[in-house]
Amino acid sequence: MEENLSFPKKIGQRLRHDWTLLLLVTLIAVLGAVEGVSILATIGLWLLVIATVVTRAPVTVEVAGPAGNESNPDAEEDIVPALAAGFSALDVPVVLIASDASVVFRNEAAEKAFGDFPVGAHISSKLRSPVVLDMIRETIATRKPNQVEHAERLPSERVYVARIAPVGAENEAAPEALFALSFRDISELRMIDRMRSDFVANASHELRTPLASLRGFIETIQGPARDDPKAQERFLGIMLDQTTRMSRLVDDLLSLSRLELKSHIAPDQVVDVVPLLGHVRDSLMPLADEVGVEINLHLPDGKAEVRGDRDELVQVFENLVENACKYGQEGKVVDISVKNAPGQSVEVTIADKGPGIHAEHVPRLTERFYRVSVADSRSKKGTGLGLAIVKHILTRHRARLIVKSELGKGTAFTVRF
């Protein structure tokens, strides 16, 4: 206010403001003159005090307004950065949405689980589940927390408990209302429950026959064949085959369970499939010689690198090549070829010249314990779990298994990364 006044008016305003100080100084000067103090010294001191009053900076007094009417810019700042800092530290997927269901913020865990959430876009642009969207609409309307179970199918099967709750003040009229949408992963709990029930059902079914055989042979050896060394030797050989089969079955079930637990975790190693396939062929040469099959490699020059786990990829290709040798041995040849064209996916194909598979069986080949021919599978010491294990490994590697078969001409299994 004082900056807008002229210089004489400023002096007059300050003299009026400090008139008590000037009066006191004048009285002191008069008393000094009466007491015999030099008149020049008294006048000089009096002028010095006046000059000080005129030239000193004005005193500004701020008057606080009524409680509740104070203006605090910091308090009016957006709360999103503070919430974002807290949610970013969580390993649980969290998406912050506005009252119009548009995305305000998403943490890194949400991006890893569901991909990128475009900020400013409606939540339905990323989440298409009607159950989750209905829950969000209901919570925005009622301002009450809610939760539902939500399942994702791609890139791997996951189950979440999706929960939404309002953030900040519980004022229904607040236009800047925010809501936190979080996802708690319960996939492993659901998977363990399913594996427990599957193991009981499958294991009891598959183990019943060999256990019954073992019991029968043991009773025979203890009874009628007690004194028959030849019968005992023959029965003990059969019993060894049955126990070996049960051991393979249990090993495959455990392997399948371990793969299911980590199917959602994509491997991050880089593997060259060219030397890997050479290793697979070398390890299966004794089996190929036994069944009279020749394994031919058709590999490109240079490398054919994919992202994966080397041991698991060895298990995939050993299983596919072993099946081709056993079930396609009539064709006498198994071809392993690799395609690695620039800008295209790496493909590995294992083809045999065997009898082929009828079209109605192809879609079900990767089911647990599914067999095109039960007698043929058991005679070749199969457990019915090999292709199920292959499917789970390739799911973890984000790869596809393509099966093409023609009766009388053979079967080709292609792994496309």
**What pLDDT sits at residue 225?**
85
Instruction: Determine whether domain 80-185 maps to CATH 3.30.450.20.
Output: yes
In the chain, list all ranges with CATH 3.30.565.10.
Answer: 270-416
Please give the pLDDT value at position 12: 62
Q: Reply yes or no on domain 190-261 having CATH 3.20.20.70.
A: no
Largest CA distance in the chain: 152
Q: Residue 329 carries which DSSP code?
A: G
Counting every residue written for the chain, the total comes to: 417
For residue 133, the model assigns a pLDDT of 92
- Ranges of the chain whose pLDDT falls below 70: 1-46, 48-80, 154-156, 168-176, 195, 198-203, 205, 373-383
User: Helix, strand or coil for residue 20?
Assistant: helix
The boundaries of every CATH 1.10.287.130 domain in the chain are 190-261
E-state strands within 274-369: 294-298, 305-307, 333-339, 347-352
Topology (CATH level 3) of domain 270-416: Heat Shock Protein 90 (3.30.565)
The DSSP line for 84-127 is HHHHHT-SS-EEEEETTSBEEEE-HHHHHHH----TTSBGGGT-
pLDDT tens digits, 157-169: 788 899 999 986 5
Domain with CATH 3.30.450.20 in the chain: 80-185
Q: Within a 10 A sphere around the Cβ of 267, how many other Cβ atoms?
A: 18
Per-residue model confidence (pLDDT) at position 320:
93
